[in-house]
A and B are shown apart, each in its own frame.
Chain A
Amino acid sequence: MSAPEAGRWDVIVVGAGFAGSLVAQRLGDQGWRVLVLEAGQGEPEGAAGHRAAVEAYRSAAVKVPNAPYRTTAAAPSPSVLDLSGRAEGGYRSDGYVVQRGPLPYASGYLRANGGTGLAWTGLAPRMHPEDFRAGDFGHGRNWPIDYAELEPYYRAAEREIGVAADVAEQREAVGLPFPDGYAFPMRAIPRSHLDQVLADALDGKCVQDPAEEVPTPLRVVGTPHARNGLPNPGYQLEGNLCSGHASCVPICPAQAKYTPLRTQARWSASVTLVTRAVVSRVRIDGNGRATGVEYRTYEGDDHPTGIAERRADAALVVLAAHAIENAKLLLASGAANSSDQVGRNLMDHPVLLTWGLMPQQVGAYRGPGSTSGLEGFRFGAARARRAPFRVEIGNWGWTWALGPPDLRVAELLRSGGAAGRGLFGPELRRTLGDRIGREIAFQFEMEQEADPANRVTIDPRHRDALGNPRPVLHYDLSEYVKRGIVAAKAVSDQLFALLGAQDHTRFEPGPAWPGYFEYQGRPYAYRAAGHGAGTHIMGDSPADSVVDAWQRCWDHPNLYAVGCGSMPTVATSNPSLTMAALALRSAERIHHDLQGLAREGALSP
């Protein structure tokens, strides 16, 4: 069966999310004919689609990251709602992803045009130079490239997605090198009132990290954002200024947050997007070259209909479908796995949340989800002893830890008051008015080291509605990560004490905490940041890595796997900016490869 997109392309890009949209844009700008195949559906499109998605968010009973966006049974998306904890400890998983590990992989992702980049939080910090050699500390791996190599691409990515930050603060307080005279495209997003209250109480104080020999000094530091701040000279703002809707995850009503749809709007006419096109296999010829892909198109959301088998041919194929989906596709294709590392080294950011009530009103539930953090636990010798972590100061009260205020309201109505029969009337109003605006949370994002035992596999017994394999995950937290969580909790205890805040943190097994575990006799629980990585890990040898420093599969000279799946360490920064920088760097190499193929006459006109 033929389709408009049949025929031979210069490049096929699988996945129209963060990395795929960037690669397609750069290659389209060079005049290459690019076919982008997106498994999910194409909404929200245009202004009306955006409004509909905002309405869907506001009307959703549970405002999880995927809530505003339509998903389809033909390209299922895992949701955080798929997981629940058991009363006796342990978890159950009922979604698209099959989970078999001792602990759950607790992140979702979104298969739709724009990908998880629609729902992302929009924080865009760089990795630190030390993060590229995490293996030197005895845990995880080193990168085949260093910070200096990636630095120009960080700048390019910051321009492409539009990053707002203060270069002097990033240089001084995070230790990041920048070229002289560099300015981010936009001025820093203003810090929240809560950040200021915390800075007044914490800056210059110290806490004792149990893994450190000396106390760690505290400083509240602004975080780079991929959302619109006031533009610096020479930068043209796209979309509106951030107006503090406090719903960055899952949707920015003002469209101030970057999403891949913004990059797609810049695509040249030589880029063709087909949505509802689920790639099932990369075709590899006898010489190990990728020749194209097989895919199925479909209609309908809940029940796929009109399913059609299709194929497309290209000189070069780029997989950009998400770390887990890329691994699934490579495994289903029998591709790129001479190292036996495809699907292994699955990483995420396990997040320890702690929450409490400040002594005064702090203006919770305003502004971006986090505008500042504490950077002092990310680097240094302690990294050899426990996982490093970045501390995000949460502006949205207890949302991530316990959900929005709904549950607190319900609890007061059920069991508040002197008799424990419910709180009503002026006392209810006063109690809520007093408490909700004092809610604060710390979000400790832990580095998880590459461990080959944490992995994605496929199993012919588990298939989705189109017959494609569902990802089967085995996931756990190492002693290294758990020691990091112990250190983070100790830091949290001291932060609450310095703030004079009431610590309400409490971990117990049950439905709300699938990531519950006990360690050294104490209860802990984690959530996850949606930062899946490592499944087609990058390295300097085909013996123990899947892709080279260009994200090109060692086994196939014209097959690239791009995205967070290539990262040898997920470090402690939110990974999307690094993914973007890597994608832009790969696009240059792909352009070079295509020029070579054209010279050899391997491209059809």
Chain B
Amino acid sequence: MASIDEFIAASAELTGFGGAELWATGMAEVYWAVVLEEAGAAAVGRLVAEPLGEGERELARAVAGLWYLGSWSVAGGVPVVVSSAAYERGLVWRAFGGQAPGTGPRGHGSWTVEPERSR
């Protein structure tokens, strides 16, 4: 059976975020459990062996989506948010230097300053 380290390495390849960054979200173990539960060990084994191969392309999309959005979504299905923490730590917000709406207070007027990425 694949290990969580292999899962993180595959996730890094799929998301473009480094393994340390993925661990730093605090969601690694939760997502590992979600993916095993939803996809099964066999499919996960094939994914970690060849993350960008054609064989598990749908699973690759679901895993990348999980890291970016905090929700599990497969083609044709309704996305399920793993938890409020998963929503908060979605990489899509990190990707442009933002924060998930409704999380993490900033300061009054923080929206007036130029976004960090443009500096």
Interfacial residues, chain A to chain B (CB-CB below 8 A): 54-55, 57-61, 63, 190-193, 196, 229-230, 241-247, 251, 253-254, 360-368, 371, 395-396, 399, 404-406, 409-410, 413-414, 421-422, 424-430, 432-437
A57 to B71 Cα, complex, angstroms: 14
**A-contact 0/1 string along B99-111, CB 8 Å cutoff:** 1111101111111
Quote the shortest CB–CB distance from A408 to chain B (angstroms): 8
Known contacts being A243-B105, A243-B108, A366-B110, is A413 close to B64, with CB within 8 Å? yes
Interface of A is mostly: loop
Q: Which of B86-106 contact A (CB under 8 A)?
A: 87-88, 91-93, 95-103, 105-106
Decide: B52 and A244 in contact? CB cutoff 8 A: no
Query: Contacts of A230 on B, CB cut-off 8 Å?
Result: 108
Contact indicator B110/A243 (Cβ below 8 Å):
yes
Separation of A368 and B114 alpha carbons in the complex (Å):
16
Q: Is the beta-carbon distance between B65 and A57 smaller than 8 angstroms? A: no
Contact status of A414 and B61, CB under 8 A, knowing A59-B81, A61-B71, A367-B110: yes
Do A245 and B101 touch across chains, with their CB atoms under 8 A apart?
yes
B residues adjacent to A (C-beta < 8 A):
13-17, 51-52, 54, 57, 60-61, 64-65, 68-69, 71, 73, 75, 78-81, 83-84, 87-88, 91-93, 95-103, 105-115, 117-118
**In the complex the two chains form, is B88's CB within 8 Å of A58's CB?**
yes
| Residues of chain B within 8 A of A247, CB atoms compared | 101-102
Q: Which of B69, B103, B108 has the most CB of A within 10 A?
A: B108
Q: A243-B110, A363-B113, A399-B101 are in contact. List 16 more A-B contacts (CB 8 A).
A: A58-B81, A58-B84, A58-B102, A59-B87, A61-B81, A243-B105, A244-B108, A246-B102, A251-B102, A253-B105, A366-B99, A367-B111, A414-B75, A425-B15, A428-B15, A429-B17
Measured between beta carbons, the chain B residues less than 8 angstroms from A363 are 98, 111, 113-115, 118
Q: Which residues of B contact A360 (CB under 8 A)?
A: 118
B115 surroundings in chain A (CB, below 8 A): 193, 361-363, 366, 437
Closest to B16 in A: A429
Q: Known interface pairs A425-B15, A436-B98. Does A60 touch B81 (Cβ–Cβ under 8 Å)?
A: yes
Q: Which of A192, A241, A413, A414 has the most CB of B within 10 A?
A: A413
Docked Cα-Cα span, A283 to B51, in Å, equals 69
Residues of B within 8 A of A405 (CB): 69, 92
Complex-state Cα separation, A363 to B109, whole angstroms: 13
Instruction: Please give, as numbers and ranges, the residues of chain A lying within 8 Å of B65 by CB-CB distance.
Output: 409-410, 413
CB of A376, distance to nearest CB on chain B (Å): 24
CA distance A44 to B93 in the complex (A): 28
Q: Say how far A284's CB is from chain B's closest CB, in angstroms.
A: 45
A437 to B95, CA, bound (A): 9
Which residues from chain B contact A254 at a C-beta distance below 8 Å?
Answer: 105
Rounded to whole Å, the gap between the CB of B24 and the closest CB of chain A is 15
Chain A nearest CB from B112 CB (Å) reads 5
Residue of B nearest to A426 (CB): B16
In whole angstroms, how far apart are the Cα atoms of A243 and B110 in the complex? 7
Closest 7 CB pairs of A and B: A367-B111, A429-B16, A247-B102, A58-B84, A437-B96, A363-B115, A361-B118
